[in-house]
Structure 1
Amino acid sequence: MFIARTIPELRDHLTRFERPAFVPTMGNLHDGHIALVTQAKPLGDATVASIFVNRLQFLPHEDFDTYPRTWDSDCAKLEAAGCDVLFAPDEKALYPEPQTCKVHPDPALADILEGHFRPGFFVGVCTVVMKLFSCVQPRVAVFGKKDYQQLMMIRHLVRQFALPIEIVGGETRRADDGLALSSRNGYLSEGERAEAVQLSRALKEIAEAVRGGGELAAIEGRPMQALAQRGWQPDYLTVRRRLDLQPPAALDGAEPLVALAAARLGSTRLIDNLEIEPWAAKP
Structure 2
Amino acid sequence: MKRVLLFLATNLAVMIVLGITASLLGVNKFLTANGLNLGALLAFAALMGFGGAFISLWMSKPMAKWSTGARVIDSPSTSTEFWLVQTVERLAQRAGVAMPEVAIYEGEPNAFATGATRNSSLVAVSTGLLQNMSRDEVEAVLAHEVAHVANGDMVTLTLIQGVVNTFVVFLSRVVGYLVDSFLRRGDQESSGPGIGYMVTTIVCDIVFGILASIIVAYFSRQREFRADRGAAQLMGNPQPMVSALRRLGGLHTEPLPQNMASSGIAGGPAWMALFASHPPIESRIRALQS
User: Normalization by structure 2: what TM-score?
Assistant: 0.22
Higher strand share: 1
Higher helix share: 2
User: Normalization by structure 1: what TM-score?
Assistant: 0.22
